[in-house]
Amino acid sequence: MLPESQRDRIEIVLVSPRNPLNIGAAARAMANFGFSRLTVVAAYAPHWREARSAVGAPQVLEFATESATLAEAVANCTLVVGTGTLTYRKPEQKVIALPDLAPIAAGETKRGGRIALVFGPENHGLTREDLSLCRLLVEIPTDPRQPSMNLGQAVAVCLYELASRASLPPSAAIEGLPKLAAKGDAAQSPAASSGDLELLARVVEEALIAANYSPPSMQAANRHDLRLLLRRLDPNRRDTRRILGLFRRILWRLKRVPNGN
């Protein structure tokens, strides 16, 4: 298993869960495999901490964090991983097989990063907007005749993989991922957090609006594409701050000089 110090750097995030029993089942699975950090985003039922299905894991629910949005929940995480099936979706980020999740998590936490493993609501899974905050999508293999999985079971399957494969070397499918084997200058600066990237995205978007880059009807689509682009580029914290400073200067100039003249 991952050492406790590394497990403590992995956050299980449940987005808009509808059934408190499923939240309790997820907490129980977390306790089974030694994970304790749970965040619940916009839960449908207000009394989810009282779920009786959290057998042996009441402390996981007691100390769980509540967040209003997924962006808020993952702001401090350097790697955000969405979960789901590809049966009804076309992924816009890199997809990894579930067995490859463990070595990625081990590498990210070993270098001091924080991981959010994100699960969507029971009725439809993560939305396209949710996934725009994710750098990776891990596919849970299921029979195409029954692609959906109970939330608690999905958490248990993923955490079992983390617990049982953490010591295995990365497969060829993930060796090319940034930061797994960082070298030189890239290794000297910590990874940018999701919150860092969201701040940069907002400032870039403000600059685009100030420059009349596109009509208002395209702003939501541009925001979505920008989020995905920044996560594909995967800048470290130092480079993110440099780019942020650059765009703040551009924005200041655009707002100061009418019509950009």
Task: List per-residue pLDDT tens for the chain, 261 residues long.
Answer: 778 888 999 999 999 999 999 999 999 999 999 999 999 999 998 889 999 899 999 999 999 999 999 999 999 999 999 998 877 778 899 999 898 999 899 889 888 899 999 999 988 889 999 999 999 999 888 888 888 889 999 999 999 999 887 666 655 445 545 454 343 344 457 889 999 999 999 999 999 999 998 888 999 999 999 999 999 999 999 999 999 999 999 999 998 876 545
DSSP state of 146: S
What is the per-residue pLDDT for 3?
Answer: 84
Question: How many C-beta neighbours within 10 Å does residue 114 have?
Answer: 20
Cα separation of 195 and 101, whole Å? 22
Q: Indicate the SS3 state at residue 118.
A: strand
Decide: 201 and 230 in contact? Cβ < 8 Å. Answer: yes
pLDDT for 148: 81
The sign of the torsion formed by the CA atoms of 244, 182, 188, 9 equals positive
What gap in Å lies between CA 69 and CA 60, rounded to an integer?
A: 20
First to last CA, the chain: 60
Q: How far is CA 76 from the centre of its chain?
A: 10
3-state secondary structure 36-85: CCEEEECCCCCCHHHCCCCCCCHHHHHCCEEECCHHHHCCCCCEEEEEEC
Residue 176 confidence (pLDDT): 46
CA pair distance 215, 228, nearest whole angstrom: 20
pTM beyond 0.85: yes
